[in-house]
Amino acid sequence: MLDPVAPRSRFHTSVSHYFDRAAALTSFEPGLLDQVKSCNSVYRMKFPVKDDDGNIVVVEAYRAQHSHHRLPGKGGIRFSLSVNQDEVVALASLMTYKCALVGLPFGGAKGGVCIDSKSSSVGFRERVTRRYTAELVKKNFIGPAIDVPAPDYGTGEQEMAWIADTYKALNFNELHPYACVTGKPLDLHGIPGRREATGYGVFLGIKQCLAHREDIEPLGLEPGVEGKRVIVQGLGNVGLYAARFLHDAGALIVGIAELGGGIYHPAGLDVNKVAAHFQANHTLRDYEPGTFIADSSAVLEMPCDILVPAALENQITAANAHKIQAKIVAEAANGPVDFDADEILAERGILVIPDLYLNAGGVTVSYFEWLKNLSHVSFDRMNSGYIESSKERMLSAVEMLTGRSIGEAERDLITAGPREIDFVRSALADTMELSYHNIRDLWKTRDTPDLRTAAYIFGIDRVARSYMAHGIFP
Ligand code: NAD
């Protein structure tokens, strides 16, 4: 049971409990596990920024580097008034195990800035972002080989562009300045597919889970995404794309929860229309068709097959876990299910697809963007034409041998060379498939209670073995 008066935040304590539960099932020595669990460095800063009226505002911010076993560190930057050191450290530790789990050569890191992204003007956000970047540069907390941020809650491509530009301005001799941050716009050395990567990865992960009949039949579900009733919490970057991909694959999005209320409609919602309504009105009130539910958290308790919390941590706790009607909880956000709730959901036979695995699509495609920025060439530039002409030759040989020829349109379809987005999507799909099999195998073949514990064991194992291979300096 989580201690309600513990000095650590609920989120941090949950991650710590998840780690300990998994670590107990490994055979690493306690000191090594302590190192794998510990956060290596935290930079807490306060800096002045002028608000839109010219007044000085002191902003509090953080960057945590949880692990240096691989460099650079990698992890998003969150803009939210609820940011605090505990939260940033917990998020950074999740990044360590996540990157290890999906086989990315990064340490875990995370940043947070205490401002309200939604109510801040563009000008204020730009001044805060640039000053935050300058603070990170001053302390050597950012750089292509040191620590590479990305978007998270409350930030997006625009903030990443400001970070890249500020870093470049302060490091004019740097050969790879754009590799200092990922999630950048396409016009500033970004990569196609990064914007929707986390949501697409969430969709792919759910699809993997739903492909195993023996795992989901006991939940009363048939394999496949089609026809599944889904509720999504949070229509931001992760939630919106996850909902769109699930909808396009035939799922029914029966509920959407946002700040200020949600909407429930058993016949299925049009995700794009709901998103457009929310963007225009900043509320889901008056959206039709569907029933408006003013208490947004009550939407999570409505009937569905799959609940996708894609907003923030601690959304499912001991207070509401026994009311969840979903058969699968798919953790698109980081830490949406706390430790107590996790135990209640397990007792109730509800399957949880853990954050460590499920939202790893974003950092995976960030890895591809970082590689692209280091090599200064897009993934299709060197081989797309070659692949296309090879396929042309092969098709011509088949036509010659069979004496039959194929139509123009069909020919173009078959021989088209891959574009960069094709490489990104297929490599992401491979990662999500392989990683799911890795954690599922561990869950099924060893004495591992659930997918989350399997994901932690996998991550801990890779980080611990890396530390052992490095040895301890001096
Ligand atoms: P975002 O800022 O783009 O969107 C979050 C949305 O959630 C907003 O629309 C906000 O209004 C809504 N929201 C906040 N509190 C809510 C509540 N109580 N009920 C309903 N809706 C609520 O953020 P995002 O980038 O989509 O991130 C969401 C989660 O996913 C976070 O936990 C983040 O750490 C995680 N994540 C994000 C990425 C990424 O690439 N952006 C990658 C991995 C994990």
Any ligand 1 atom below 6 A from CB of 11:
no
Could you report the per-residue pLDDT of 280-315, keeping only the tens digit for each? 999 999 999 999 999 999 999 999 999 999 999 999
Confidence of residue 446 (pLDDT cuts 50, 70, 90): confident
> In this prediction, what percent of the chain has a pLDDT beyond 90?
97
Round to whole Å and give the CA distance between 69 and 459. Answer: 12
Instruction: Please determine, for residue 3, whether its predicted confidence score (pLDDT) is greater than 80.
Output: no
Round to whole Å and give the CA distance between 90 and 352. Answer: 19
C-alpha distance from residue 92 to each of 320, 334, 371 (Å): 27, 11, 21
Could you report the per-residue pLDDT of 69-107, keeping only the tens digit for each? 999 999 999 999 999 999 999 999 999 999 999 999 999
Number of helices followed by number of strands (H, E) in the chain: 17, 12
CA-nearest of 463, 469, 388, 466 to 422 is 388
Give residue 1's pLDDT: 59
Q: Which residue's CA is minimally distant from atom 10 of ligand 1?
A: 234
Confidence of residue 2 (pLDDT cuts 50, 70, 90): low
For residue 91, what are the contacts with CB-CB under 8 A and spacing of at least 6? Answer: 64, 75, 76, 78, 110, 112, 152, 334, 335
Round to whole Å and give the CA distance between 338 and 9. Answer: 11
Instruction: Please determine, for residue 132, whether its predicted confidence score (pLDDT) is greater than 90.
Output: yes
Could you report the per-residue pLDDT of 148-184, keeping only the tens digit for each? 999 999 999 999 999 999 999 999 999 999 999 999 9
Any ligand 1 atom below 6 A from CB of 324:
no
For residue 444, what are the contacts with CB-CB under 8 A and spacing of at least 6? Answer: none
Give residue 447's pLDDT: 84
Mean pLDDT of 1-21: 80
Could you report the per-residue pLDDT of 414-436, keeping only the tens digit for each? 999 999 999 999 999 999 999 99
In angstroms, what is the span from residue 86 Cα to ligand 1's centroid?
18
Mean pLDDT of 35-42: 98
The number of the ligand 1 atom at minimal distance from the alpha carbon of 238 is 26
For residue 87, what are the contacts with CB-CB under 8 A and spacing of at least 6? Answer: 9, 11, 12, 78, 112, 313
C-alpha distance from residue 454 to each of 23, 26, 36, 280, 354 (Å): 10, 11, 16, 42, 10
Any ligand 1 atom below 6 A from CB of 236:
yes
Give residue 374's pLDDT: 98
**Average predicted confidence (pLDDT) for the chain:** 96
Give residue 21's pLDDT: 97
Judge contact between 205 and 306, C-beta under 8 A. Answer: no
Query: What is the residue type of 473?
Result: F
Give residue 5's pLDDT: 46
> In this prediction, what percent of the chain has a pLDDT beyond 70?
98
In this structure, the strands spanning 261-264 and 252-258 are antiparallel
Our mutation pick for probing the ligand 1 site, out of 312, 316, 431, counting the most ligand atoms within 8 A of Cβ, is 312
The residues carrying an active-site annotation are 110
Judge contact between 151 and 157, C-beta under 8 A. Answer: yes
Residue 25 three-state SS: coil
CA dihedral 21, 297, 236, 273 (to 10 degrees): 140
Half-sphere exposure of 308 (CA within 13 A, CB side): 36
Any ligand 1 atom below 6 A from CB of 258:
yes
